[in-house]
């Protein structure tokens, strides 16, 4: 028999209160969250905590579930005198694609998606508990600040009925409760640790332009700094995780590699001039032309890209 759709779907008021946020795994693209979840329903037959699923979850568990028949002393689903209040605790590890494009000025938008898995949206929908949902203000998130919390209901449409025999044709539509946490990074020390090596390599490359061309190890210094910059880029990638986007950290490292290679080219040209008896011209190119351009342009470029990343976040 085809599904009979009521004029208005049944609903329960559902809320979420985040009590723990940890396990930020950049390499495996995940995070772990603890939260209390509750529902207030007009009927004992409605049990959304038993039929919810968590979208994009790697692992999750629902514990300490309790249900009470309580007197309605609030504005929940009024004017009913009796309501059915169910609460539980969820621990979930969720998939999240970390975006480090503007690291260390990045913002992360974590979401928890609770979805009704049994009834279609035409039969049941969530009503968010806006007033009581939120997060524990003393939540310990080292290196991050929580800037905003949000909760909303949306209907998710699938191009399948998932084999539901009550539905002759059409789409599968299910109510979803979307909880969002906007995080802003407050720790820049890790950025300094990741970039200190590459900045030191560039500084040594600039200092090499002070050396005379007959100094045998001048080109060797540049080869060493180039190797150090490449290794430092690999360390940064392993720390933040591989990403398909070109991040600020990538840009700084690639720019440093280009500058070091340019310094090597300048050294080779100056050596050529020295071998042909133009030692004074070689010194002038190294110290009066190349060195100021090298240092000033690199510093200005870094200031611009870092300022831009800080602005756009």
Q: What is the 3-state secondary structure (H, E, C) of 9-56?
A: CEEEEEEEEEEEEEEEECCCCEEEEEEEEEEEECCCCCCHHHHEEEEC
> Distance of CA 70 to CAs 73, 81, 84, 85, 86, Å?
9, 9, 6, 7, 10
| pLDDT score of 249 | 93
Buried b (16+ CB within 10 A) or exposed e, 207-233: ebbebebeeeebbebbebbbebbbebb
Low-confidence ranges of the chain (pLDDT < 50): 1-2
| pLDDT score of 1 | 43
Tell me which residue of 140, 33, 139 sits closest to 93, measured CA to CA: 33
Q: Where are the beta strands (DSSP E) in the chain?
A: 10-25, 30-41, 52-55, 57-71, 82-95, 107-116, 124-128, 134-135, 144-158, 172-185
| pLDDT score of 80 | 75
| pLDDT score of 301 | 97
| pLDDT score of 308 | 93
Pairing assessment for the beta strands 124-128 and 10-25 based on DSSP bridges: parallel
Q: Which domains does the chain have, with CATH numbers?
A: 10-185 (2.70.170.10), 189-312 (1.20.58.390)
Q: Both tokens of residue 285?
A: 């190119």
Tell me which residue of 96, 84, 27 sits closest to 55, measured CA to CA: 96
Tokens 């309501």 found at: 83
Q: Both tokens of residue 199?
A: 């900045």
Tell me what the pLDDT averaged over the chain comes to: 89
């Amino acid at each position: 028999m085809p599904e009979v759709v009521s004029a208005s779907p049944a609903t329960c008021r559902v809320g979420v209160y985040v009590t723990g946020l940890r396990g930020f795994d950049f390499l495996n693209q995940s995070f772990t969250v603890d939260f209390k979840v509750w529902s207030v329903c007009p009927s004992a037959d409605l049990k959304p905590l038993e039929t919810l699923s968590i979208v994009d979850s790697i692992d999750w568990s629902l514990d300490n579930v309790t249900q009470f028949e309580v007197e309605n002393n609030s504005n929940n689903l009024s004017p009913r005198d009796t309501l059915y209040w169910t609460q539980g605790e969820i621990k979930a590890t969720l998939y999240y694609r970390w975006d480090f494009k503007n690291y260390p000025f990045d913002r992360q938008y974590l979401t928890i998606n609770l979805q009704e898995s049994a009834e279609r949206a035409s039969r049941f929908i969530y009503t968010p508990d806006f007033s009581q949902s939120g997060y524990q203000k003393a939540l310990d998130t080292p290196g991050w600040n929580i800037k905003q919390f949000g909760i909303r209901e949306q209907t998710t449409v699938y191009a399948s009925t998932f084999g539901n025999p009550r539905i002759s044709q059409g789409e599968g539509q299910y109510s979803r409760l979307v909880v969002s946490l906007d995080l802003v990074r407050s720790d820049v020390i890790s950025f300094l640790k990741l970039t200190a090596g590459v900045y030191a390599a560039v500084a040594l490359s600039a200092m090499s332009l002070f050396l005379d061309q007959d100094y045998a190890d001048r080109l060797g210094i540049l080869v060493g700094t180039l190797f150090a910059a490449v290794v430092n880029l690999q360390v940064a990638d392993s720390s933040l995780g591989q990403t398909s986007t070109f991040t600020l950290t990538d840009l700084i490292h690639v720019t440093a590699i280009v500058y070091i290679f340019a310094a090597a080219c300048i050294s080779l040209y100056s050596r050529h001039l020295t071998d042909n008896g133009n030692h004074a011209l070689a010194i002038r190119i190294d110290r009066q032309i190349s060195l100021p351009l090298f240092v000033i342009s690199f510093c200005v470029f870094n200031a611009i890209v870092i300022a831009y990343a800080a602005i756009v976040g």
